[in-house]
A and B are shown apart, each in its own frame.
Chain A
Amino acid sequence: MSTTYTRLELLRMLRNRRFFIFSLGFPVVLYYLIAGPNKHNDDLGGSGISAPVYYMVGLVAFGAMTAVLSAGARISAERSTGWNRQLRITPLTTRDYFRTKVLTGYAAACATILVMYVAGATLGVSLPARNWIEMTGLILVGLVPFAAGAIAMGHLVSVDSIGPAMGGTTAVLAFLGGTWFPITGDGVFATVAKCLPSYWLVQAGHVGLGGSAWGRTGWLVVAAWTVALTALAARAYRRDTGRF
Protein backbone atom coordinates (compact mmCIF):
# COMPACT_ATOMS: atom_id res chain seq x y z
CA MET A 1 0.00 0.00 0.00
CA SER A 2 1.32 3.40 -1.00
CA THR A 3 1.94 5.53 2.05
CA THR A 4 2.41 8.56 -0.20
CA TYR A 5 -1.10 8.09 -1.54
CA THR A 6 -2.54 7.91 1.97
CA ARG A 7 -0.46 10.81 3.23
CA LEU A 8 -1.65 13.07 0.41
CA GLU A 9 -5.27 12.04 0.95
CA LEU A 10 -4.90 13.08 4.59
CA LEU A 11 -3.38 16.37 3.49
CA ARG A 12 -6.39 16.97 1.23
CA MET A 13 -8.69 16.44 4.18
CA LEU A 14 -6.76 18.91 6.33
CA ARG A 15 -7.05 21.50 3.58
CA ASN A 16 -10.77 21.09 3.39
CA ARG A 17 -12.53 23.77 5.40
CA ARG A 18 -15.76 21.79 5.75
CA PHE A 19 -13.91 19.18 7.76
CA PHE A 20 -12.94 21.71 10.42
CA ILE A 21 -16.40 23.24 10.54
CA PHE A 22 -18.56 20.10 10.65
CA SER A 23 -16.35 17.47 12.25
CA LEU A 24 -14.52 19.69 14.74
CA GLY A 25 -16.23 23.07 15.16
CA PHE A 26 -19.86 21.99 15.32
CA PRO A 27 -19.55 19.37 18.08
CA VAL A 28 -17.41 21.62 20.28
CA VAL A 29 -19.72 24.61 20.02
CA LEU A 30 -22.80 22.46 20.66
CA TYR A 31 -21.04 20.83 23.60
CA TYR A 32 -20.44 24.13 25.38
CA LEU A 33 -23.99 25.26 24.61
CA ILE A 34 -25.63 22.10 25.96
CA ALA A 35 -23.29 20.79 28.64
CA GLY A 36 -22.00 24.17 29.83
CA PRO A 37 -25.19 25.20 31.70
CA ASN A 38 -25.54 21.68 33.20
CA LYS A 39 -21.96 21.46 34.31
CA HIS A 40 -22.89 20.45 37.87
CA ASN A 41 -25.52 17.85 36.98
CA ASP A 42 -23.96 14.62 38.23
CA ASP A 43 -26.64 12.25 37.02
CA LEU A 44 -28.06 13.42 33.71
CA GLY A 45 -31.64 12.21 33.20
CA GLY A 46 -31.08 8.99 35.10
CA SER A 47 -28.19 7.97 32.86
CA GLY A 48 -25.94 7.52 35.84
CA ILE A 49 -23.23 9.80 34.48
CA SER A 50 -22.66 13.52 34.69
CA ALA A 51 -23.83 15.93 32.01
CA PRO A 52 -20.29 16.90 30.90
CA VAL A 53 -19.33 13.22 30.40
CA TYR A 54 -22.62 12.29 28.77
CA TYR A 55 -22.60 15.12 26.27
CA MET A 56 -18.90 14.80 25.63
CA VAL A 57 -19.43 11.24 24.40
CA GLY A 58 -22.74 12.17 22.74
CA LEU A 59 -21.05 14.83 20.66
CA VAL A 60 -18.05 12.64 19.98
CA ALA A 61 -20.56 10.19 18.51
CA PHE A 62 -22.09 12.96 16.40
CA GLY A 63 -18.78 14.38 15.16
CA ALA A 64 -17.12 11.02 14.58
CA MET A 65 -20.13 9.70 12.66
CA THR A 66 -19.94 12.79 10.45
CA ALA A 67 -16.19 12.32 10.00
CA VAL A 68 -16.36 8.67 9.01
CA LEU A 69 -19.40 9.12 6.77
CA SER A 70 -17.64 11.97 4.96
CA ALA A 71 -15.43 9.27 3.39
CA GLY A 72 -18.57 8.33 1.48
CA ALA A 73 -19.01 11.91 0.31
CA ARG A 74 -15.44 11.84 -1.02
CA ILE A 75 -16.07 8.58 -2.87
CA SER A 76 -19.23 10.01 -4.41
CA ALA A 77 -17.41 13.16 -5.49
CA GLU A 78 -14.60 11.16 -7.09
CA ARG A 79 -17.14 9.05 -8.93
CA SER A 80 -18.88 12.11 -10.33
CA THR A 81 -15.69 13.77 -11.58
CA GLY A 82 -14.36 10.56 -13.12
CA TRP A 83 -11.33 10.50 -10.80
CA ASN A 84 -12.17 6.95 -9.67
CA ARG A 85 -11.91 5.84 -13.30
CA GLN A 86 -8.52 7.50 -13.55
CA LEU A 87 -7.48 5.52 -10.44
CA ARG A 88 -8.82 2.30 -11.94
CA ILE A 89 -6.25 2.60 -14.72
CA THR A 90 -3.44 2.74 -12.16
CA PRO A 91 -2.12 -0.25 -10.18
CA LEU A 92 -3.99 0.99 -7.07
CA THR A 93 -6.20 -1.88 -5.89
CA THR A 94 -9.81 -1.37 -4.86
CA ARG A 95 -8.94 -2.68 -1.42
CA ASP A 96 -6.24 -0.04 -0.95
CA TYR A 97 -8.53 2.67 -2.28
CA PHE A 98 -11.19 1.85 0.32
CA ARG A 99 -8.56 1.35 3.01
CA THR A 100 -7.26 4.84 2.42
CA LYS A 101 -10.75 6.35 2.39
CA VAL A 102 -11.65 4.63 5.66
CA LEU A 103 -8.33 5.55 7.21
CA THR A 104 -8.89 9.19 6.28
CA GLY A 105 -12.35 9.06 7.83
CA TYR A 106 -10.92 7.51 11.00
CA ALA A 107 -8.18 10.13 11.18
CA ALA A 108 -10.84 12.83 11.08
CA ALA A 109 -12.82 10.94 13.75
CA CYS A 110 -9.73 10.74 15.99
CA ALA A 111 -9.27 14.49 15.66
CA THR A 112 -12.89 14.96 16.74
CA ILE A 113 -12.45 12.61 19.69
CA LEU A 114 -9.31 14.40 20.83
CA VAL A 115 -10.83 17.87 20.54
CA MET A 116 -13.95 16.77 22.40
CA TYR A 117 -11.93 15.16 25.21
CA VAL A 118 -10.08 18.44 25.66
CA ALA A 119 -13.40 20.30 25.67
CA GLY A 120 -14.69 17.78 28.23
CA ALA A 121 -11.68 18.35 30.46
CA THR A 122 -12.36 22.10 30.45
CA LEU A 123 -15.84 21.33 31.87
CA GLY A 124 -14.31 19.23 34.60
CA VAL A 125 -14.48 15.73 33.08
CA SER A 126 -11.88 13.62 34.78
CA LEU A 127 -11.59 9.86 34.33
CA PRO A 128 -8.96 7.27 35.17
CA ALA A 129 -6.64 6.55 32.24
CA ARG A 130 -8.05 3.05 31.92
CA ASN A 131 -11.53 4.48 31.28
CA TRP A 132 -10.36 6.97 28.68
CA ILE A 133 -8.67 4.15 26.79
CA GLU A 134 -11.59 1.76 27.03
CA MET A 135 -14.04 4.45 25.97
CA THR A 136 -11.90 5.41 22.97
CA GLY A 137 -11.56 1.76 21.98
CA LEU A 138 -15.32 1.22 22.09
CA ILE A 139 -15.93 4.36 20.00
CA LEU A 140 -13.41 3.27 17.36
CA VAL A 141 -15.03 -0.18 17.16
CA GLY A 142 -18.50 1.41 17.11
CA LEU A 143 -17.49 3.42 14.04
CA VAL A 144 -16.76 0.31 11.93
CA PRO A 145 -20.36 -0.05 10.65
CA PHE A 146 -20.29 3.63 9.69
CA ALA A 147 -17.17 3.09 7.61
CA ALA A 148 -18.92 0.31 5.68
CA GLY A 149 -22.02 2.50 5.39
CA ALA A 150 -19.90 5.33 4.00
CA ILE A 151 -18.58 3.12 1.19
CA ALA A 152 -22.12 1.94 0.42
CA MET A 153 -23.49 5.48 0.33
CA GLY A 154 -20.54 6.68 -1.73
CA HIS A 155 -21.57 4.25 -4.47
CA LEU A 156 -25.35 4.54 -4.14
CA VAL A 157 -25.89 8.28 -3.74
CA SER A 158 -25.05 10.94 -6.32
CA VAL A 159 -22.81 13.82 -5.41
CA ASP A 160 -25.75 16.25 -5.54
CA SER A 161 -27.74 14.44 -2.89
CA ILE A 162 -24.96 13.06 -0.74
CA GLY A 163 -24.69 16.20 1.43
CA PRO A 164 -28.35 16.16 2.51
CA ALA A 165 -28.35 12.36 2.69
CA MET A 166 -25.38 12.29 5.07
CA GLY A 167 -26.63 15.25 7.11
CA GLY A 168 -30.07 13.67 7.44
CA THR A 169 -28.72 10.25 8.35
CA THR A 170 -26.39 11.69 10.95
CA ALA A 171 -29.12 13.89 12.47
CA VAL A 172 -31.61 11.02 12.78
CA LEU A 173 -29.04 8.57 14.11
CA ALA A 174 -27.72 11.09 16.59
CA PHE A 175 -31.25 11.92 17.80
CA LEU A 176 -32.35 8.29 18.16
CA GLY A 177 -28.98 7.28 19.51
CA GLY A 178 -29.19 9.64 22.45
CA THR A 179 -26.75 12.39 21.53
CA TRP A 180 -29.11 15.12 22.74
CA PHE A 181 -30.70 13.45 25.78
CA PRO A 182 -30.28 10.15 27.61
CA ILE A 183 -32.54 7.33 26.50
CA THR A 184 -33.78 5.29 29.42
CA GLY A 185 -36.51 2.80 30.23
CA ASP A 186 -37.92 -0.03 28.12
CA GLY A 187 -40.33 1.85 25.86
CA VAL A 188 -40.56 1.52 22.08
CA PHE A 189 -38.24 4.46 21.66
CA ALA A 190 -35.56 2.88 23.81
CA THR A 191 -35.96 -0.48 22.06
CA VAL A 192 -35.53 1.12 18.65
CA ALA A 193 -32.55 3.12 19.90
CA LYS A 194 -30.81 -0.01 21.16
CA CYS A 195 -30.91 -1.47 17.65
CA LEU A 196 -28.96 1.45 16.22
CA PRO A 197 -25.16 1.66 16.01
CA SER A 198 -25.24 5.32 17.08
CA TYR A 199 -26.80 4.38 20.43
CA TRP A 200 -23.81 2.24 21.28
CA LEU A 201 -21.38 5.00 20.36
CA VAL A 202 -23.09 7.19 22.95
CA GLN A 203 -23.14 4.31 25.44
CA ALA A 204 -19.35 4.16 25.34
CA GLY A 205 -19.53 7.00 27.88
CA HIS A 206 -20.67 4.53 30.54
CA VAL A 207 -17.28 2.92 30.92
CA GLY A 208 -16.72 4.52 34.28
CA LEU A 209 -19.72 2.78 35.86
CA GLY A 210 -18.10 -0.57 36.42
CA GLY A 211 -18.83 -3.56 34.26
CA SER A 212 -18.93 -3.24 30.52
CA ALA A 213 -20.42 -0.21 28.83
CA TRP A 214 -21.78 -2.30 25.99
CA GLY A 215 -22.66 -5.78 27.19
CA ARG A 216 -23.61 -8.55 24.81
CA THR A 217 -26.39 -6.56 23.09
CA GLY A 218 -24.02 -3.76 22.15
CA TRP A 219 -21.47 -6.03 20.55
CA LEU A 220 -24.19 -7.94 18.71
CA VAL A 221 -25.82 -4.81 17.31
CA VAL A 222 -22.52 -3.34 16.14
CA ALA A 223 -21.47 -6.65 14.57
CA ALA A 224 -24.82 -7.08 12.81
CA TRP A 225 -24.67 -3.58 11.32
CA THR A 226 -21.10 -4.17 10.22
CA VAL A 227 -22.01 -7.37 8.40
CA ALA A 228 -25.13 -5.90 6.79
CA LEU A 229 -23.51 -2.66 5.65
CA THR A 230 -20.39 -4.41 4.38
CA ALA A 231 -22.59 -6.66 2.23
CA LEU A 232 -24.49 -3.61 1.01
CA ALA A 233 -21.24 -1.78 0.23
CA ALA A 234 -19.90 -4.73 -1.76
CA ARG A 235 -23.15 -4.95 -3.71
CA ALA A 236 -23.25 -1.21 -4.38
CA TYR A 237 -19.65 -1.23 -5.54
CA ARG A 238 -20.23 -4.12 -7.94
CA ARG A 239 -23.42 -2.62 -9.35
CA ASP A 240 -21.71 0.73 -9.81
CA THR A 241 -18.52 -0.43 -11.53
CA GLY A 242 -19.51 -3.72 -13.13
CA ARG A 243 -16.53 -5.31 -11.39
CA PHE A 244 -16.35 -8.51 -9.42
Chain B
Amino acid sequence: MRTAVAPEAVGGIRLTGLAKTFPSPQGPVRAVRGIDLDIAPGETVALLGPNGAGKSTTIEMLLGLTRPDAGTVSVFGLSPERSVDEGNVGAMLQTGSLIRDLSVGELVTMIASLYPKPLAVDDALELAGIGSLAGRRTQKLSGGETQRARFAVAIVADPDLLVLDEPTVAMDVESRRAFWSAMRAFVARDKTVLFATHYLEEADAYADRVVLMASGAIVADGPPTEIKAMVGSRRIRATLPGADRALLAALPGVTDVDLRGEAISLVCSDSDLALRALLEASPDVRDIEVTGAGLEEAFVQLTHEDSEAEAA
Protein backbone atom coordinates (compact mmCIF):
# COMPACT_ATOMS: atom_id res chain seq x y z
CA MET B 1 0.00 0.00 0.00
CA ARG B 2 1.30 3.40 -0.90
CA THR B 3 0.56 6.66 0.80
CA ALA B 4 -2.15 8.52 -1.08
CA VAL B 5 -1.22 11.87 -2.54
CA ALA B 6 -3.38 14.97 -2.45
CA PRO B 7 -3.68 15.82 -6.16
CA GLU B 8 -3.53 19.61 -5.82
CA ALA B 9 -0.21 19.58 -3.98
CA VAL B 10 2.27 19.86 -6.83
CA GLY B 11 5.46 21.82 -6.51
CA GLY B 12 6.16 21.82 -2.82
CA ILE B 13 5.84 19.66 0.23
CA ARG B 14 2.41 19.07 1.69
CA LEU B 15 1.59 17.18 4.88
CA THR B 16 -2.13 16.80 5.55
CA GLY B 17 -3.67 15.45 8.76
CA LEU B 18 -0.55 13.41 9.43
CA ALA B 19 -0.75 11.21 12.54
CA LYS B 20 1.28 8.37 14.03
CA THR B 21 0.88 6.42 17.25
CA PHE B 22 3.46 3.95 18.54
CA PRO B 23 2.74 1.16 20.99
CA SER B 24 4.81 1.19 24.18
CA PRO B 25 4.78 -0.73 27.47
CA GLN B 26 3.13 2.31 29.08
CA GLY B 27 0.36 2.30 26.48
CA PRO B 28 0.15 3.93 23.06
CA VAL B 29 2.26 7.05 22.48
CA ARG B 30 0.75 9.59 20.12
CA ALA B 31 3.98 10.78 18.53
CA VAL B 32 2.33 12.95 15.87
CA ARG B 33 -1.25 14.13 16.32
CA GLY B 34 -2.64 15.20 12.97
CA ILE B 35 -0.39 17.94 11.59
CA ASP B 36 -0.83 20.02 8.46
CA LEU B 37 2.14 21.70 6.85
CA ASP B 38 2.86 23.24 3.45
CA ILE B 39 6.37 24.11 2.36
CA ALA B 40 6.91 26.08 -0.82
CA PRO B 41 9.80 25.21 -3.18
CA GLY B 42 12.94 27.11 -2.19
CA GLU B 43 11.93 27.63 1.43
CA THR B 44 14.27 26.77 4.30
CA VAL B 45 12.12 25.66 7.20
CA ALA B 46 13.24 24.80 10.73
CA LEU B 47 11.24 22.25 12.67
CA LEU B 48 11.90 23.41 16.20
CA GLY B 49 10.91 21.53 19.29
CA PRO B 50 12.16 19.73 22.39
CA ASN B 51 12.96 16.01 22.45
CA GLY B 52 9.83 13.95 22.02
CA ALA B 53 7.99 16.70 20.14
CA GLY B 54 7.44 14.41 17.14
CA LYS B 55 10.01 16.02 14.82
CA SER B 56 11.79 12.79 13.86
CA THR B 57 8.57 10.86 13.36
CA THR B 58 7.28 13.63 11.09
CA ILE B 59 10.51 13.52 9.10
CA GLU B 60 10.39 9.71 8.83
CA MET B 61 6.87 9.92 7.42
CA LEU B 62 7.94 12.66 5.02
CA LEU B 63 10.72 10.36 3.76
CA GLY B 64 8.54 7.26 3.56
CA LEU B 65 10.50 5.43 6.26
CA THR B 66 7.46 5.28 8.55
CA ARG B 67 3.92 4.71 7.39
CA PRO B 68 1.45 7.24 8.84
CA ASP B 69 -1.66 5.97 10.64
CA ALA B 70 -3.62 8.78 9.04
CA GLY B 71 -3.04 11.65 6.64
CA THR B 72 -1.13 12.13 3.42
CA VAL B 73 2.34 13.21 2.35
CA SER B 74 3.11 14.80 -0.97
CA VAL B 75 6.67 15.61 -2.04
CA PHE B 76 6.70 17.63 -5.27
CA GLY B 77 3.37 16.06 -6.16
CA LEU B 78 4.57 12.49 -5.60
CA SER B 79 4.36 10.01 -2.76
CA PRO B 80 7.50 9.98 -0.58
CA GLU B 81 8.56 6.59 -1.99
CA ARG B 82 8.22 7.78 -5.57
CA SER B 83 10.03 11.00 -4.84
CA VAL B 84 12.89 9.04 -3.25
CA ASP B 85 13.00 6.66 -6.24
CA GLU B 86 13.22 9.62 -8.62
CA GLY B 87 16.20 10.94 -6.68
CA ASN B 88 14.47 14.15 -5.56
CA VAL B 89 15.24 13.75 -1.89
CA GLY B 90 18.43 13.82 0.15
CA ALA B 91 18.42 13.34 3.88
CA MET B 92 20.58 13.15 6.92
CA LEU B 93 18.79 11.08 9.53
CA GLN B 94 19.22 11.70 13.22
CA THR B 95 21.00 8.46 13.98
CA GLY B 96 23.25 6.54 11.71
CA SER B 97 26.93 6.05 11.20
CA LEU B 98 28.87 5.40 8.03
CA ILE B 99 29.92 2.01 6.74
CA ARG B 100 33.59 1.24 7.32
CA ASP B 101 36.43 0.11 5.07
CA LEU B 102 35.81 2.81 2.46
CA SER B 103 37.37 6.23 2.07
CA VAL B 104 35.11 9.26 2.28
CA GLY B 105 35.48 9.76 -1.48
CA GLU B 106 34.61 6.13 -2.24
CA LEU B 107 31.60 6.25 0.06
CA VAL B 108 30.20 9.37 -1.59
CA THR B 109 30.94 7.82 -5.02
CA MET B 110 28.98 4.74 -3.99
CA ILE B 111 25.92 6.80 -3.07
CA ALA B 112 26.25 9.07 -6.12
CA SER B 113 26.14 5.99 -8.37
CA LEU B 114 22.59 5.25 -7.20
CA TYR B 115 21.18 8.55 -8.50
CA PRO B 116 20.14 9.66 -11.97
CA LYS B 117 21.82 13.10 -11.99
CA PRO B 118 24.25 13.40 -9.07
CA LEU B 119 26.75 16.14 -8.34
CA ALA B 120 30.39 15.45 -9.09
CA VAL B 121 31.78 13.73 -5.99
CA ASP B 122 34.51 16.35 -5.58
CA ASP B 123 31.90 19.12 -5.67
CA ALA B 124 29.79 17.41 -3.00
CA LEU B 125 32.85 16.98 -0.76
CA GLU B 126 33.86 20.58 -1.37
CA LEU B 127 30.36 21.85 -0.53
CA ALA B 128 30.38 19.80 2.66
CA GLY B 129 33.74 21.32 3.54
CA ILE B 130 35.60 17.99 3.56
CA GLY B 131 37.42 18.19 0.24
CA SER B 132 40.68 17.47 2.07
CA LEU B 133 39.32 14.28 3.64
CA ALA B 134 38.45 12.44 0.42
CA GLY B 135 41.14 9.80 0.97
CA ARG B 136 40.49 9.16 4.64
CA ARG B 137 38.78 5.97 5.79
CA THR B 138 35.34 6.59 7.28
CA GLN B 139 36.21 4.85 10.56
CA LYS B 140 38.99 7.40 11.16
CA LEU B 141 36.83 10.54 11.08
CA SER B 142 36.06 12.68 14.12
CA GLY B 143 32.45 13.24 15.17
CA GLY B 144 32.14 16.57 13.36
CA GLU B 145 33.86 15.19 10.24
CA THR B 146 31.50 12.20 10.24
CA GLN B 147 28.50 14.52 10.30
CA ARG B 148 29.87 16.48 7.37
CA ALA B 149 30.56 13.26 5.46
CA ARG B 150 26.95 12.28 6.14
CA PHE B 151 25.97 15.69 4.83
CA ALA B 152 27.97 15.02 1.64
CA VAL B 153 26.09 11.71 1.31
CA ALA B 154 22.80 13.62 1.61
CA ILE B 155 23.61 16.28 -0.98
CA VAL B 156 25.50 14.27 -3.60
CA ALA B 157 22.16 13.36 -5.20
CA ASP B 158 21.70 17.08 -5.89
CA PRO B 159 18.20 16.70 -4.43
CA ASP B 160 15.47 19.31 -4.71
CA LEU B 161 14.47 18.60 -1.12
CA LEU B 162 17.08 18.30 1.60
CA VAL B 163 15.97 17.00 4.99
CA LEU B 164 18.24 17.20 8.03
CA ASP B 165 17.24 15.72 11.38
CA GLU B 166 19.19 17.45 14.16
CA PRO B 167 22.36 17.50 12.10
CA THR B 168 24.53 19.32 14.64
CA VAL B 169 23.60 17.39 17.74
CA ALA B 170 26.73 16.45 19.71
CA MET B 171 28.93 18.78 17.65
CA ASP B 172 31.19 21.37 19.23
CA VAL B 173 30.76 25.05 18.42
CA GLU B 174 33.45 25.08 15.74
CA SER B 175 32.09 22.04 13.87
CA ARG B 176 28.60 23.43 14.15
CA ARG B 177 29.64 26.67 12.48
CA ALA B 178 31.44 24.80 9.72
CA PHE B 179 28.43 22.60 9.22
CA TRP B 180 25.99 25.45 8.81
CA SER B 181 28.20 27.31 6.39
CA ALA B 182 28.26 24.10 4.32
CA MET B 183 24.47 23.96 4.49
CA ARG B 184 24.24 27.57 3.34
CA ALA B 185 26.49 26.90 0.37
CA PHE B 186 24.14 24.13 -0.72
CA VAL B 187 20.93 26.10 -0.14
CA ALA B 188 22.30 28.87 -2.32
CA ARG B 189 21.51 26.49 -5.20
CA ASP B 190 17.79 27.17 -4.76
CA LYS B 191 16.84 24.10 -2.76
CA THR B 192 13.97 23.33 -0.43
CA VAL B 193 15.26 22.49 3.02
CA LEU B 194 13.60 21.15 6.14
CA PHE B 195 15.77 20.76 9.22
CA ALA B 196 14.86 19.68 12.71
CA THR B 197 16.63 21.22 15.67
CA HIS B 198 16.13 21.95 19.31
CA TYR B 199 18.43 24.97 19.22
CA LEU B 200 16.49 28.21 18.85
CA GLU B 201 19.65 30.00 17.66
CA GLU B 202 20.03 27.60 14.73
CA ALA B 203 16.42 28.02 13.69
CA ASP B 204 16.77 31.77 13.99
CA ALA B 205 20.03 32.01 12.07
CA TYR B 206 19.43 29.59 9.21
CA ALA B 207 15.69 29.30 8.49
CA ASP B 208 13.27 31.53 6.57
CA ARG B 209 10.49 30.09 8.61
CA VAL B 210 10.19 28.27 11.92
CA VAL B 211 7.61 25.62 12.68
CA LEU B 212 7.33 24.99 16.36
CA MET B 213 6.36 21.48 17.45
CA ALA B 214 5.45 20.21 20.90
CA SER B 215 3.81 16.97 21.98
CA GLY B 216 3.17 15.88 18.42
CA ALA B 217 1.41 19.05 17.28
CA ILE B 218 2.41 22.27 15.55
CA VAL B 219 2.03 25.04 18.13
CA ALA B 220 3.37 27.96 16.11
CA ASP B 221 4.49 28.67 12.55
CA GLY B 222 6.05 31.92 11.41
CA PRO B 223 9.18 33.89 10.60
CA PRO B 224 12.08 33.41 13.02
CA THR B 225 11.70 36.85 14.62
CA GLU B 226 8.12 36.07 15.57
CA ILE B 227 8.98 32.70 17.04
CA LYS B 228 11.95 34.14 18.86
CA ALA B 229 9.73 36.71 20.53
CA MET B 230 7.44 33.91 21.61
CA VAL B 231 9.99 31.54 23.05
CA GLY B 232 13.16 33.57 23.43
CA SER B 233 12.14 35.33 26.63
CA ARG B 234 14.15 35.55 29.85
CA ARG B 235 13.03 35.26 33.41
CA ILE B 236 14.03 37.41 36.38
CA ARG B 237 13.65 35.78 39.76
CA ALA B 238 14.18 37.73 43.00
CA THR B 239 13.02 38.28 46.56
CA LEU B 240 11.04 41.45 47.14
CA PRO B 241 9.22 42.12 50.45
CA GLY B 242 5.86 43.76 49.89
CA ALA B 243 5.87 43.17 46.14
CA ASP B 244 3.01 44.70 44.24
CA ARG B 245 1.76 42.85 41.18
CA ALA B 246 0.41 45.88 39.33
CA LEU B 247 3.60 47.81 39.86
CA LEU B 248 5.77 44.94 38.60
CA ALA B 249 3.56 44.33 35.58
CA ALA B 250 3.91 47.97 34.62
CA LEU B 251 7.72 47.75 34.43
CA PRO B 252 9.11 48.15 30.90
CA GLY B 253 10.18 44.89 29.24
CA VAL B 254 8.03 42.71 31.51
CA THR B 255 5.40 40.53 29.86
CA ASP B 256 4.22 38.37 32.73
CA VAL B 257 4.38 38.39 36.53
CA ASP B 258 4.27 35.50 38.93
CA LEU B 259 4.08 36.26 42.66
CA ARG B 260 4.47 33.82 45.54
CA GLY B 261 4.72 35.72 48.78
CA GLU B 262 8.02 37.55 48.61
CA ALA B 263 9.28 35.54 45.64
CA ILE B 264 8.75 37.30 42.35
CA SER B 265 9.22 35.89 38.89
CA LEU B 266 9.05 38.13 35.84
CA VAL B 267 8.91 36.88 32.26
CA CYS B 268 10.64 39.52 30.15
CA SER B 269 10.86 40.36 26.49
CA ASP B 270 13.78 42.65 27.43
CA SER B 271 15.36 41.55 30.69
CA ASP B 272 18.05 44.28 30.69
CA LEU B 273 15.48 47.04 30.55
CA ALA B 274 13.24 45.33 33.10
CA LEU B 275 16.08 44.76 35.55
CA ARG B 276 17.22 48.38 35.47
CA ALA B 277 13.66 49.57 36.04
CA LEU B 278 13.14 47.01 38.82
CA LEU B 279 16.27 48.12 40.72
CA GLU B 280 15.22 51.75 40.46
CA ALA B 281 11.61 51.16 41.48
CA SER B 282 12.37 48.71 44.31
CA PRO B 283 15.85 49.25 45.82
CA ASP B 284 15.36 46.54 48.47
CA VAL B 285 15.05 43.74 45.86
CA ARG B 286 17.60 40.95 46.52
CA ASP B 287 18.71 37.44 45.42
CA ILE B 288 18.35 38.47 41.78
CA GLU B 289 18.69 35.75 39.16
CA VAL B 290 18.26 36.16 35.40
CA THR B 291 17.85 33.02 33.31
CA GLY B 292 16.98 32.27 29.76
CA ALA B 293 13.46 30.91 29.89
CA GLY B 294 14.68 28.16 27.58
CA LEU B 295 12.84 26.29 24.91
CA GLU B 296 11.54 23.56 27.16
CA GLU B 297 9.95 26.09 29.46
CA ALA B 298 8.60 28.11 26.58
CA PHE B 299 7.10 24.97 25.08
CA VAL B 300 5.47 23.96 28.34
CA GLN B 301 3.98 27.43 28.50
CA LEU B 302 2.83 27.40 24.88
CA THR B 303 1.28 23.95 24.99
CA HIS B 304 -0.26 24.79 28.35
CA GLU B 305 -1.88 27.84 26.84
CA ASP B 306 -3.04 25.66 23.99
CA SER B 307 -4.72 23.09 26.19
CA GLU B 308 -6.28 25.85 28.26
CA ALA B 309 -7.66 27.41 25.10
CA GLU B 310 -9.00 24.00 24.08
CA ALA B 311 -10.63 23.50 27.46
CA ALA B 312 -12.23 26.93 27.40
Contact = CB atoms under 8 A, between A and B. Distances in A.
Contacts of A37: none
A88 interface: yes
Interface string A75-101: 000100111011011111000000000
A154 to B, nearest CB: 14
B96 A89 contact: no
Contact of A244 (B1, B87, B111): B1
A85 B95 CA distance: 10
Interface string A4-19: 1100110110011000
B102 A11 contact: yes
A77 to B, nearest CB: 8
B109 A4 contact: yes
Contact of A89 (B84, B86, B99, B107): B84
Interface in A1-47: 2-5, 8-9, 11-12, 15-16
Interface residues on A, range: 20 to 34
A164 interface: no
Contact of B101 (A15, A88, A90, A92): A15
A187 interface: no
Interface string B32-74: 0000000000000000000000000000000111110000000
A12 B106 CA distance: 10
Q: Is the interface of B mostly helix, strand, loop or mixed?
A: loop
Interface string B88-131: 01110101111111100011011101111000000000000000
Contact of A5 (B63, B87, B114, B153): B114
B190 interface: no
A90 B87 CA distance: 7
Interface residues on B, range: 20 to 34
B93 A86 contact: yes
Contacts of A2: 113-114
A83 B1 CA distance: 24
Contact of B97 (A3, A8, A15, A83): A83
Contacts of A4: 109-110, 113
A12 B99 contact: yes
B96 A82 contact: yes
B114 A92 contact: yes
B157 interface: yes
A128 interface: no
A242 interface: yes
B262 interface: no
Nearest to A14: B101
B281 to A, nearest CB: 56
Nearest to B92: A86
B97 A81 contact: yes
Nearest to A83: B99
Contact of A81 (B87, B91, B99, B110): B99
B1 A5 contact: no
A2 B8 CA distance: 35
Contact of B63 (A12, A83, A89): A89
B284 interface: no
Contact of B98 (A9, A83, A85, A244): A83
Contacts of A15: 101-102
A5 B97 contact: no
A242 B67 CA distance: 8
Contacts of A81: 96-99
A199 to B, nearest CB: 34
Interface in A44-68: none
A74 to B, nearest CB: 9
A85 B101 CA distance: 19
A242 B69 CA distance: 13
A159 B254 CA distance: 55
19 contacts: A2-B113, A8-B107, A8-B109, A78-B99, A81-B97, A82-B93, A82-B95, A82-B97, A83-B96, A83-B97, A83-B99, A85-B93, A86-B96, A89-B63, A90-B87, A90-B157, A91-B114, A91-B116, A242-B67
